């Protein structure tokens, strides 16, 4: 099938919401210490590879809402107008560090992505709607055979939120960190020794088409594993891959309530879901129906969208995020109180998001963004500080 690419305006909004960055950042009060206009970001190349590294800092300038890119000094450059067909974007690349070396650039107050590619520059184009992001699930994408990945971040007056992400794909081993205002450093996102190969091997050994998520490069070696959403969209995974679990959930909650407590800081705010008339209706404590969900399919579950859409509101969105986490982790049947705080229950059903299960298993701290709302219960790979002194990205070994 032909897959449409997303513009930066849409994708940045989706990525930020998926990573939990914008929602958290806007909810936080401004830092007691003034966050400067830029903070240093040190990229260290521990990859063990001889490839040239190219860095890109792309996103939304928070003070104006303009889309663009930042140079090594943190200076903002808005994208020029694009065209139809798309026109080449300006070269926004920054020469990265050689193996065993580091390079420090400046991060401005952005919500966006830091891309890093190995051996080749990425191809970016501009449409009338904005920047076209790489969409390597599309076989005709010019970046399809380039090894690359990205980190997502928001830096604003309340501090920095910086994460690793596997919401779209697993490809390059990397980790992130931040030096906090108190001088301590926190890190996350590091794979266990051999973790990337172990992940690929685990996918190969998983029946049901999961091995089809792996995309090999021209040399026959894996470049990446695409997330299961793209597997369903491209036919690599069967569209029915989650049906058995969904059917069992639907049956269970036709006879009893599913209780959702969407906010950890509001334990008395609960919603009660019951399947009736082909939909799952959620009622508040007064018995009023506040939102309803159709029976979700695999695309809705893996993408946390469509039939599990999560608007940025205080009712449907938080309930949907919780449901999405429960379906991906397969905890809805074993625990009628969601979200499930016990990660020992995660991914235990034979029908589950095996991609997310396997990448979590290979992380040193067990945390990863294996799907869009993996931040439900704080199981995501995210660092944050309200008074950041420095940020870090480590390009880690492929061994």
Looking at the annotation, which residues are catalytic?
A: 152, 168
Please count the CA atoms within 13 angstroms of the CA of 42 that sit on its side-chain side: 11
Q: Which tokens sit at 26?
A: 């806007």
Partners of 151 in beta bridges: 114, 164
Phi/psi at 162 (nearest 5 deg)? -135, 130
Q: What are the respective helix, strand and coil percentages of the chain, to the nearest 5?
A: 20, 30, 50
Is there a contact between 127 and 120 (Cβ–Cβ < 8 Å)?
A: no
* CA–CA gap between residue 183 and residue 64 (Å, rounded): 31
Eight-class DSSP state of 169 = E
Q: Which tokens sit at 221?
A: 């070696």
Degrees to nearest 5, angle at CA 366 with 137 and 323 = 65
Is there a contact between 395 and 46 (Cβ–Cβ < 8 Å)?
A: yes
Closest Cα to residue 271, out of 295, 254, 250, 288?
288
- DSSP E strands in 119-266: the ranges are 125-127, 130-132, 147-156, 159-164, 169-170, 174-179, 185-188, 214-216, 222-226, 258-260
Asked if the peptide bond before residue 100 counts as cis, ω within 30 degrees of 0, the response is no
Q: Which tokens sit at 80?
A: 């020029």
């Amino acid at each position: 099938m032909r897959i449409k690419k997303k513009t930066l305006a849409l994708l940045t909004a989706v990525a930020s919401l998926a990573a939990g960055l914008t929602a958290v950042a806007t909810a936080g009060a401004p830092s007691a210490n003034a966050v400067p206009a830029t903070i240093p970001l040190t990229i260290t190349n521990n990859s063990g590879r001889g490839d040239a590294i190219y860095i890109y800092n792309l996103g939304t300038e928070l003070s104006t809402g303009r889309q663009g890119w930042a140079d090594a000094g943190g200076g903002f450059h808005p994208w020029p107008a694009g065209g139809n067909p798309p026109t080449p974007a300006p070269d926004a690349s920054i020469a990265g560090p050689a193996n065993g070396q580091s390079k420090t650039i400046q991060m401005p107050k952005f919500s966006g992505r830091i891309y890093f590619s190995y051996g080749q520059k990425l191809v970016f184009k501009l449409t009338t709607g904005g920047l076209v992001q790489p969409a390597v699930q599309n076989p005709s994408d010019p970046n399809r055979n380039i090894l690359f990945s990205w980190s997502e971040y928001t830096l604003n007056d309340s501090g920095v939120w910086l994460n690793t992400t596997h919401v779209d794909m697993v490809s390059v081993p990397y980790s992130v960190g931040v030096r906090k205002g108190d001088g301590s450093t926190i890190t996350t996102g590091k794979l266990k020794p051999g973790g990337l190969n172990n992940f690929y091997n685990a996918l190969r050994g998983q029946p049901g088409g999961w091995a089809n998520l792996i995309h090999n490069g021209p040399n026959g070696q894996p470049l990446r594993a695409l997330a299961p959403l793209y597997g369903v969209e491209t036919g690599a995974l069967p569209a029915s891959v989650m049906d058995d679990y969904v059917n069992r959930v639907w049956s269970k909650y036709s006879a009893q309530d599913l209780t959702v407590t969407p906010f950890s800081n509001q334990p008395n705010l609960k919603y009660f879901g019951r399947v009736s008339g082909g939909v799952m209706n959620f009622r508040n404590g007064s018995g009023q129906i506040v939102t309803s969900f159709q029976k979700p399919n695999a695309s809705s579950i893996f993408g946390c969208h469509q039939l599990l859409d999560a608007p940025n509101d205080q009712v449907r969105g938080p309930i949907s995020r919780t449901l999405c986490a429960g379906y991906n982790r397969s905890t809805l049947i074993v625990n009628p109180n969601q979200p499930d705080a016990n990660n020992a229950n995660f991914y235990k059903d034979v029908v589950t998001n095996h991609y997310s299960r396997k990448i979590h298993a290979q992380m040193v701290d067990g945390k990863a963004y294996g799907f869009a709302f993996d931040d439900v219960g704080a199981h995501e790979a995210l660092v944050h500080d309200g008074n950041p002194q420095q940020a870090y990205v480590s390009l880690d070994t492929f061994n």
